[in-house]
Structure 1
Amino acid sequence: MAKKVIQIVCMDIEYINRIAGRLAAAVNDDVFLEFITDEKYYQESITKPRRIDTLIIDEQMQDKYPSERIADKCFIISDESNKGNAIRKYEGTTAIINVLGDEVLKRNDDSKKRQCKIVGVVSPFGGCGKTIAALGIALKLSQLHRKVLYIDAENTQNFYERLGGLFESAEYADKKLAEALVNLTTSTYDYVNEQIVHGEFDYLPAFEKSLFYYHVEPEELCKLATVIASRGGYDYIVLEHEPVINSSIVQSISTEQRVVIVTQDAPNDTRITQFLSVLDGLDTEKIIVHHNDSDEKVNEYEDVAVSETVKYDRTYDLKKLRKLGHYRKTAEAVL
């Protein structure tokens, strides 16, 4: 039986990023969900004979290419609601789910799903041990009998050098995975899922070159984490962010259940106080790991408790961490 095709055409990438994860999780496995955010690609696609079951298209594109695509159902993404087939843009995924028929939506059966939590790992600057902390947290969570996935959402992914014994057998991600991340649909998600490496904890393969070489944005890996979490296959997803603070990272953190902040700064350092002030007001639970060259302990930063102080060694890898107690207290704080 052929899959039902739902095509969503919208040049507003921020809107697509907001709806894609939840929508992909809402439709059943008999649906092929396609997002198009490139006008040139859409122009080429409408010249090819292809049947679409449901077309959801933004108003500007519909006006520009009227009646070019044959579809059983057509809905217009609009800021206005004066059209009978209009989907209110500001209502996000809910508006789309409300117009889709029951035959394409999953039945609610939350009893079989794990209640997956996303743990963001961030730092105000590079070089303070964020990657080894993220891997250490993933390792310790798995040792606490949780099913864990680690995703590196940095432009430059260098976590393979921290895998210890796993490094020799680790293979880099291919261009097909990059293409799947850029155009995440039901079918491409299946390919992404097949690429996950399984072990003491699972991880998504690293790209050998910077993400921009593959035309992948860090936000697309954050979106992937949201989609995987909604599928309920893991207890925790440890999501490592870029060592900066910007609107995209703040937006991602706002949807995450925990955020671990890794720092080497003194509590009164301007960089950490400014960093924490940006996160003020978010409901996300904040946890701090303090890396130090000595055994001196720090109890809190700006009223945020420190889960543990780790005497940081730049030679740490997973092989060494397996023998140490580091990040155990942070993993327990995450639970």
Structure 2
Amino acid sequence: MTWETGGKSEEPDGAGRRDPAPPPVGGILWSVAGDIRVLLTLPSALTMQVAHPAVGAGVDTYSVFRTDPWGRGERSLRSAQLWVYGGEEAAEEGRRLRRLHRTIQGTDTRGRPYHALMPANYAWVHATGFPVFRHASAYLQRRPYTPAEERQLYAEWLRVGRILGIHDRDMPQTLEEFWPYYRRMLAEELELTAVADELTSVDRPVPPPDRGPLALRLPLRLLWPVLFPPIARFRRFATIGLMPPDAREAIGLPWTDAQERRLRALGRVVRVVVPLLPERLRYLPLARRARARARRPG
């Protein structure tokens, strides 16, 4: 969930400082962030991010999501997995991301100067994950979180923010502080930016996957004109549906009662099928390896 540009920097950052700790083994994020169901939720968070005028302008100008969508997605997913499951690598990944964003600056759609690492912008990119996790869980994972579980999830999300270099003073530190901040961002900042519109469009062209086994790439390339339209429709459906209703309303994305019923039906199927999968299929690779390490004695 970052403004991936495809570049790298080796500039040192934060030398001599004590690294922040990732979320705890066995916590809520440990259970849900590496589950394959997270793949359905990430587009919702990304769309909320780019609906902020400054973030949308930065992604529009600097991101490679149009020219290298599969590579961009793969890098972003690996980065997000490292925040939770990376152990000592988590803090280094946070430093890498800050280096990557140091040159991202310009003027947003409202004529305001922006920089990717301005606290208001950087914190919003991170903040979107919490309401999306919270909302999507009721459909895809299980029952809704209890108040105590919500507090735990938010506390763990703050730990991820520290890994990314977000100071405590720049993020609400309690749920009581978070929701007024969140509602203010929806009311004052979010809009259907060009990038948010593009990410939720069924007409946005996406090339066939260039990742995965070679034996699958040629068939996918040949079948892509037939496969892509239903994939694009499902992508829009899941992106809008798994976004918190107040966020989709603030952005101006339509949602009907019929779509809500379809989403609930999909959620029931997902909640039954995914827990039956073996761990090697249920969890993403970094999460699966981290979980295996955590089970080893000593």
Q: Name the TM tier (shorter chain).
A: under 0.3
Of Structure 1 and Structure 2, the greater helix share is in 2
Which structure has the larger Rg over C-alpha atoms?
A: 1
Of Structure 1 and Structure 2, the greater strand share is in 1
TM-score, normalisation: structure 1: 0.24
TM-score, normalisation: structure 2: 0.26
> Greater relative contact order: 1 or 2 (C-alpha under 8 angstroms, separation 6 or more)?
2
